[in-house]
Structure 1
């Protein structure tokens, strides 16, 4: 049955009736972690936890499609850092999320399983929609954002990210995108950009939306023309999009990277001000417990040297513990430190004098609401923001892909081919692709588009 679905997609079938008539298999291949293995890394230092030991490629039962939901044939997906956290069971095993969700109502109970299908990105084709869905139909080519929200309480109706039942699909819910099929709420779906391949389209959903909210939205830093923006990890998944938003928005990015190769990549992306933190020896902790304030000062001096004396109006934070003290210190008076993650550790340390006395502010952001995700996807569809895919793996190689992201051995985004048998498929708008070929392939040196 899965071959029939793949053949229909690859054959260019577009008739909704044809897709609606395709049989849905009783099970499908999916990347999972297992509840009975969630203690496998107990006593192991975090740095030594290997996701290749915990990730499985299983055949799992196909979930029933409920009201307001859609079942999608997944052509491609991508690896995000939440997949790493799920695979190493940090900060807690994700089965705690699934149990809590499963207690909510009978429909949510489907998510409480002894396995967790991971993945918070996808591109694919709608196979089925549940009762009450009118905006999407079988055969629609889609990408998905990862906000799963109930909106039965008033708190979320100004900003859905504030809903008390807000969750990240594929991390705090089951049936994620690293699989042949995925179950989503229909309001997670967005049109697939027609000039991209399946794997390119799949890689932007989570990071692009996250960066849009973090930098552009009034819910984040509200970046404006002329701002100086310090971007940590500028060649990685989040940073590669942040660099684009800064450049397209008339700001000046100061890109922090960790190797000469990544520095060159940031420059090819258009950044002129680049700091290789490894080559310049920046280390912001004297030991495990003692921040190095002198290094904060040296780092701030280096930024001013590059900018002609300007401190960052905005610091784009996501490494967390390793960098947060420096981020607070170097932001300008009245500046903003906007943070969406803590990949180097969740316990941050900073000198509060440099926050309160200099009237700086820390803003926490988490993914994006539907409107922000839609606007971010629209920028991709119009060719203003481009995917930063560096490499794709096949579904059975997902554990290796997650291991690479865990080790920071990647640039940009890492994709996963699910039902797509090879890279390069799925493009419909070849003229738009031709105009943006260089930017689309920027993170894949030596490739052609």
Structure 2
């Protein structure tokens, strides 16, 4: 493994050098264990501690199949699906691996008593399987997390509609929180040359998700001048939505949970900001009853910030806690586009405000290869920037998951895998220097862990 690290860090190794490096028989990986899926039985979600469920194990390097690549992972990052995996919510991921394993002889490799998790990476291609022509050993890459078979017609207009579409490292094995990862070659994209390994690993899942949800015609199809309400605008997903809105000529109305996150949004260029904690919005009177008066108060506050206009688009991902308010404040004919439910999957809203005002609810899930590529292209050109706030070593992934679960973070949290230190892997120093302040925008002191 050290020979691989040395070759990458040198920056001088050629494709044939990487091809000639011996692959190790095993590698270190962050795993979940199938015999521990009842570890948190009876506990409320908030009381579950991912530090108890994740392990750092030595696991065998998987067999390389057609159309696949083995990648030396220099860095990865934490997403909410990784947290859900570690909490075994809403279901243990081993059911996904079992179903995938029944698909073919090749996919049977994924059905194991351990699950290597993680849906982001930045690294270097070590080997490619039969049929791979676009990539070769030594290529510096990032990976998006769409794993898709594309053997059914359904996915050929939009790969996200394929019946065998899965999220790599969540619904498949051999994910990115490891020293080596197994991916399909169609997950690979060029690493942004002006970013370090850990910075390059941060945008993948969330930036692509935000791009499809907000910009793509498969999502909201945002246009210039749109008012866009962005929940959690200082978080991993919302921070990219804020950047896409600003980059595309829209007006983001950023909802945040602290003054510090409000300052980050201002630093990104947003001017319409609502600190929901300071303004004490309570959309639910109790567990079963929402408060329409709070919806109206929220809508009035939005109009104060937009010059009297309602929002054209709501960028939804909290789910249960906010969805009633989101439907209410959207303008007539507007769009609520949702990609997650971090506060609960069962949404309740007053349908009169939907049907009588001709509003639309659009479901959006990750992104297809084209959308991911376009998102990565904007990152590579310095138009969209990583929102990395803190980096942990692979050994402390459990603590990183704990901090994200407790919302003790800003933007994205990174994980160093094979990279021996932060700041390595930058190839275009001139482009980096032009955008250094924006790259480091989220590097602010973190709240203390508890």
Secondary structure of 1:119's counterpart equals: coil
Asked if residue 152 in structure 1 is aligned to residue 151 in structure 2, the reply is yes
Asked if residue 200 in structure 1 is aligned to residue 220 in structure 2, the reply is no
TM-score (norm 1): 0.99
Separation (CA, whole Å) in 1 of partners of 2:33 and 2:365: 26
Separation (CA, whole Å) in 2 of partners of 1:386 and 1:46: 32
2:105 alignment counterpart: 106
Asked if residue 299 in structure 1 is aligned to residue 294 in structure 2, the reply is no
1:68 alignment counterpart: 67
Give the superposition deviation at 1:265. Answer: 1.1
Secondary structure of 1:125's counterpart equals: strand
Give the superposition deviation at 1:143. Answer: 0.2
1:274 alignment counterpart: 273
Stretch of structure 1 that moved more, 117-126 or 264-273: 264-273
Separation (CA, whole Å) in 1 of partners of 2:191 and 2:120: 12
Structure 2 counterparts to residues 161-240 of structure 1, below 5 A? 161-240=160-239
Separation (CA, whole Å) in 2 of partners of 1:413 and 1:272: 22
Structure 2 counterparts to residues 394-405 of structure 1, below 5 A? 394-405=393-404
1:357 alignment counterpart: 356
Secondary structure of 1:214's counterpart equals: helix
Asked if residue 20 in structure 1 is aligned to residue 19 in structure 2, the reply is yes
Secondary structure of 1:290's counterpart equals: coil
Separation (CA, whole Å) in 1 of partners of 2:12 and 2:433: 24
Separation (CA, whole Å) in 2 of partners of 1:13 and 1:6: 12
2:49 alignment counterpart: 50
Asked if residue 32 in structure 1 is aligned to residue 31 in structure 2, the reply is yes
1:439 alignment counterpart: 438
Instruction: After superposition, give the CA deviation of every residue in 1:332-384 in whole Å (9 maximum; x if it has no partner).
Output: 00000000111111111111110000000000000000000001000000110
Separation (CA, whole Å) in 2 of partners of 1:225 and 1:190: 28
Instruction: After superposition, give the CA deviation of every residue in 1:65-123 in whole Å (9 maximum; x if it has no partner).
Output: 10000000000000000001000000000000000000000100000000000000000
1:242 alignment counterpart: 241
TM-score (norm 2): 0.98
Separation (CA, whole Å) in 1 of partners of 2:109 and 2:334: 45
Instruction: After superposition, give the CA deviation of every residue in 1:186-240 in whole Å (9 maximum; x if it has no partner).
Output: 0000000000000000001101100110000000000000000000000000010
Separation (CA, whole Å) in 1 of partners of 2:82 and 2:442: 21
Give the superposition deviation at 1:292. Answer: 1.1
Separation (CA, whole Å) in 2 of partners of 1:416 and 1:119: 10
Secondary structure of 1:174's counterpart equals: coil
Asked if residue 318 in structure 1 is aligned to residue 354 in structure 2, the reply is no
Give the superposition deviation at 1:177. Answer: 0.1
Secondary structure of 1:213's counterpart equals: helix
1:10 alignment counterpart: 9
2:369 alignment counterpart: 370
Give the superposition deviation at 1:14. Answer: 3.4
Secondary structure of 2:233's counterpart equals: coil
Secondary structure of 2:311's counterpart equals: coil
Gaps of 5+ in 2: 446-450
Separation (CA, whole Å) in 1 of partners of 2:274 and 2:68: 45
Give the superposition deviation at 1:305. Answer: 1.1
Separation (CA, whole Å) in 1 of partners of 2:241 and 2:124: 28
Give the superposition deviation at 1:268. Answer: 1.1
Separation (CA, whole Å) in 2 of partners of 1:255 and 1:320: 16
Give the superposition deviation at 1:13. Answer: 3.2
Give the superposition deviation at 1:445. Answer: 3.6
Secondary structure of 2:345's counterpart equals: coil
Asked if residue 95 in structure 1 is aligned to residue 113 in structure 2, the reply is no
Separation (CA, whole Å) in 2 of partners of 1:349 and 1:56: 37
Give the superposition deviation at 1:16. Answer: 1.1
Instruction: After superposition, give the CA deviation of every residue in 1:149-185 in whole Å (9 maximum; x if it has no partner).
Output: 0000000000000000000000000000000000000
Separation (CA, whole Å) in 2 of partners of 1:401 and 1:445: 16
Separation (CA, whole Å) in 1 of partners of 2:291 and 2:265: 27
Secondary structure of 1:302's counterpart equals: helix
Separation (CA, whole Å) in 1 of partners of 2:13 and 2:374: 26
2:392 alignment counterpart: 393
Give the superposition deviation at 1:38. Answer: 0.4
1:338 alignment counterpart: 337
Secondary structure of 1:335's counterpart equals: strand
Separation (CA, whole Å) in 2 of partners of 1:132 and 1:346: 41
In the comparison of the two structures, how many residue pairs are matched? 446
Secondary structure of 2:348's counterpart equals: coil
Secondary structure of 1:291's counterpart equals: coil
1:41 alignment counterpart: 40
Secondary structure of 1:333's counterpart equals: strand
Separation (CA, whole Å) in 2 of partners of 1:65 and 1:349: 46
Gaps of 5+ in 1: none
Instruction: After superposition, give the CA deviation of every residue in 1:374-415 in whole Å (9 maximum; x if it has no partner).
Output: 010000001100101001000001000011110111001100
